[in-house]
Amino acid sequence: MHYVEVFSIWLKATPFSGAILNYGWIWPTCEILHFIGMAFLIGIAGLLDLRILGLGKGIPIGLIHQLLPWGIGGFVINLITGILFFSGDPFQYVHNIAFQLKLLFIAVAGLNVLYFYGAGVLVKVEALGPEEDAPIDAKIVAGVSLAAWIAVMYMGRMLPFLGDAF
């Protein structure tokens, strides 16, 4: 038996897992919070990505970057609610290809963020003023980010439709 299955069996048997499914208000509350978190995360990251790609050149990138704590807050909300969803019914997710792809695209987005900060791409774009064009490496990072987060949303929406978990 695979370690993920062993963990899922254990998790499903916990009172915590039972509470998530047995209290009728927990799951829909998490759904609402997940969508709010997604709006903050995708809204702000997407705005930054689109500006780097050349849309809205009248807006300084540094100004948009100041909003990033709200996007990080959205990610934290989604991380917490995602853990709650998984905890409530892990077998809905562990064998679902859409869930696996969603995690893959989250990892791609995360590695992309590490590159954005670690390789100094932020330093290059933060100094750009209005009407200035971002360098090509920044545009690649922005394109990967936008594609990854759209893929995360798509795979999240496809959870009930791909695979046989739901």
Q: The tokens 């009248």 sit on which residue?
A: 58
Segment 72-124, tens digit of pLDDT: 999 999 999 999 999 999 988 988 999 999 999 999 999 999 999 999 999 98
Segment 68-80, tens digit of pLDDT: 999 999 999 999 9
Segment 7-40, tens digit of pLDDT: 998 999 899 998 998 898 999 999 999 999 999 9
Confidence check: pLDDT of 165 > 70: no
pLDDT band at 166 (very low <50, low <70, confident <90, very high): low
Q: Do the Cβ atoms of 133 and 57 come closer than 8 Å?
A: yes
Q: Which pLDDT value is given to residue 132?
A: 86
Q: Which pLDDT value is given to residue 128?
A: 83
Cα dist. 31→9, 26, 36, 75 in Å? Answer: 24, 9, 9, 14
Q: Do the Cβ atoms of 85 and 38 come closer than 8 Å?
A: no
